Chain A
């Protein structure tokens, strides 16, 4: 890329980031308000299952929970701007540390879920468009539609029941098989992938419907255009270009979709995570809520929204790589 393009890109990215700041601040504010509206004394919850009144008072003082609301809010915002997410009240460790422990797992699950949705969806969509007149077409549409309308806990339950309990082909949960000495890095990756299959399949099956629809419609559009008649006479090599066009046009909404789905998942999927014992951000969020751990909950919101901003920037970047004609639109 030329230097002017690079500066343009940097400009675009910076503007993007600036626009995101008020959004991120709103997210944190919503979280703060919700926490404060909630009944429940954080000091009590932090004190543990069987605590004495003095202990609870102590805890309250230690964590500054006796300060007025405004003060607590501004202290938090000020720290967040310096990227100091504070100290988790319930973990007694820096919030950032706690989040970063879980985040790679969430990211892995999110990326795999979307990827499976993508691969299955695009593949089925192409097949659907190709065999438009055959039975397979409505079959695929209907099945993916039904899957889309199925709640994640239903799909997950069925998958667990059938594949893990009945067939015993996949593990019921966890990330790795504990107590196992892995014969090298590759075997380790294999173990993780094996554990990842069912949870990402659960997500992917729901996501694929949108890809099926998108891919199918853009391919059908192209297939029924007048290019077909032309290419018939010109020879089949042109069909390659045909599909290039179709794919090119389709890739933008598909990328957008993938980006949107990814953004939805990086904040954690509590149900999938608890069903498969996948230690992600979702479970962390629920813990933060139960213990009224303000710094942790706000930290999770903050972290997630920044990640989404980053994802959107990356998607924008991919747009311009795929099709340089696309003008920047904020």
Chain B
């Protein structure tokens, strides 16, 4: 009998549910239609991790990518990765004075309208770079800048190391920052790193933390006609599946990092997208040894391990065959890599070497045990699992230890590890910190392999003061040969970066990777919104659209209150009825 008449409470309960659903549906129907075309001459980039601030001197890839758009240095890297002029219109190396001479361009302005002067260069090189830049502290310590005239400076670092310093001066590690905004202030306490002002092709516009960041074109950029884009909108999407979905839905125009290898085949099949397998920036995935370890200090053991693993199979399983097997320690970009010794997959040879080294198989088939330190990243863990397998076949029992980044660094620094798997940026001046004796025990990002070879040391010391590029290459090749015999690392493969962009994104900048990911995107444009011509200056056919939503948080609070009120009112209504 109850079922004949509808009970008001039941109705109220259902009513509440229906109301919520209905409201949601109404609101959804009011959503503007999402187009899968870019909304203008705007590049929408997805970053898988959000930077915490925008400091050009900080080493992070995401921070650096954004800072490169906002700041300039005296030199820069061109589209082919060669060092060319930036803010300076003339550059000379003064060998005898052990200094660098720069003549600044005229008419360069900061984003706030103030002109760039030699004072800013002096301030940046004397005050900021030696104190705040991750490489500046080491390689530009005690720099003095002599102002020759209103456009010319002589930069004299404490130690004259052209092989390192020139590449650094072409990257944002030596970005020129405005003296008038930073003089006398504590760099980190000021708001500068959250609202940066530079001389670069793009100006900082807004940053909604957790959501997106917007850069707009600098119309007064010193390189006339550039940049070609009106805006760069950076979206922070922390999940790779979400990035995939956004790419395929046309919500994102460019991604250069964060997509898993497995995504390759799906992306290649999408006619609206173009996929690049970029080898830049050069990174290698390697096995790293603690050369102080009782067993691993024996070179024969390390070489045996090199013979025991099948690099090709690792590449085919872990990177879906996309990466390249490598045997050398350096990158072709800096010097030829053919001199490295190659260890083909040969388990029999490995067993032979292990016997020779004095580690025969025990009664249970085991020779000895090792602990493999791994970072908490799928790629490295996968490689680690495969290594465990290969080594068990030759009688080495491996236990894996997966830790997060901080712990991973710490254990290495303390030497509390046997061997690990790591990814390293391959650039000569970092090798200087990694493979020389004087950097042993100097902390993270230095020689945590406890590797020492006097010949390598002396070669590096020669390299660092060498200005002739050909001589530099010869030295690096020789270093590579020695390292590949000593094997403080076993290089496994060159990393490949999945760069995906919409077909309508044009220009030679993409895929990026000339110097880490710090490439300026000033030659990029969106097809249909910009027509590149030789003579006519930059043209747009649409006005840039900027999201006009009010500050996020205030509205969010209102939304929350609305929902909570609905729930509370609903319950109160139910209770009050019938009183």
Q: Is the CB of A115 within 8 A of B210?
A: no
The residues in B between 1 and 24 inclusive whose CB is less than 8 angstroms from any CB of A are: 1-2, 5, 7-10, 13-14, 16-17, 20, 24
Q: Is the CB of B59 within 8 A of A119?
A: no
Closest to A47 in B: B134
Closest to A118 in B: B567
> B409 an interface residue at 8 Å Cβ cutoff?
yes
Q: Is the CB of A189 within 8 A of B555?
A: yes
Distance between B466 CB and nearest chain A CB, rounded to angstroms: 21
Report how far A52 CA is from B8 CA in the complex, Å: 72
Report how far A91 CA is from B34 CA in the complex, Å: 34
Q: Is the CB of A160 within 8 A of B241?
A: yes
Partner of B560, one of A107, A239, A244, A322: A107
Q: Beta-carbon contacts of A28-46 to B below 8 Å, as 1s and 0s?
A: 0000000000111110110
Which 4 pairs between the two chains have the least Cβ-Cβ distance?
A279-B210, A190-B27, A40-B406, A52-B138
> A96 an interface residue at 8 Å Cβ cutoff?
no
Q: Is the CB of A179 within 8 A of B547?
A: yes
Q: Given A50-B430, A126-B13, A39–B210 Cβ distance below 8 Å?
A: no
Report how far A204 CA is from B27 CA in the complex, Å: 21
Partner of A104, one of B32, B212, B546, B560: B560
Distance between B575 CB and nearest chain A CB, rounded to angstroms: 7
Give the A-binding residues of B (Cβ under 8 A).
Answer: 1-2, 5, 7-10, 13-14, 16-17, 20, 24, 27-28, 30-32, 34, 39, 42, 44, 50, 52-53, 58-61, 131, 133-135, 137-139, 141, 188-189, 193-194, 209-212, 233, 235-239, 241-242, 245-246, 249, 251, 404-407, 409-411, 413-414, 425, 430, 433, 439, 442-446, 545-550, 552-553, 555-557, 559-560, 563-564, 567-568, 571, 574-575, 577-578
Report how far A181 CA is from B414 CA in the complex, Å: 53
- Total count of chain A residues near the partner, CB < 8 A: 91
> A240 an interface residue at 8 Å Cβ cutoff?
yes
Point out which of A189, A276, A289 has the most chain B C-beta atoms below 10 A from its C-beta: A189
> A82 an interface residue at 8 Å Cβ cutoff?
no
Closest to B16 in A: A119
The residues in A between 78 and 107 inclusive whose CB is less than 8 angstroms from any CB of B are: 90-93, 100-102, 104-105, 107
Give the B-binding residues of A (Cβ under 8 A).
Answer: 38-42, 44-45, 47-56, 58, 62, 90-93, 100-102, 104-105, 107-108, 111-112, 115, 118-120, 122-123, 126, 130, 160, 164-165, 168, 171-183, 185-194, 197, 232, 236, 239-241, 243-244, 247-248, 251, 273-277, 279, 283, 289-292, 318, 322
**For B32, what are the chain A residues with a Cβ–Cβ distance below 8 Å?**
180-183, 187
Report how far A165 CA is from B245 CA in the complex, Å: 7
Partner of B555, one of A91, A185, A244: A185
Closest to B4 in A: A236
Q: Is the CB of B557 within 8 A of A104?
A: yes
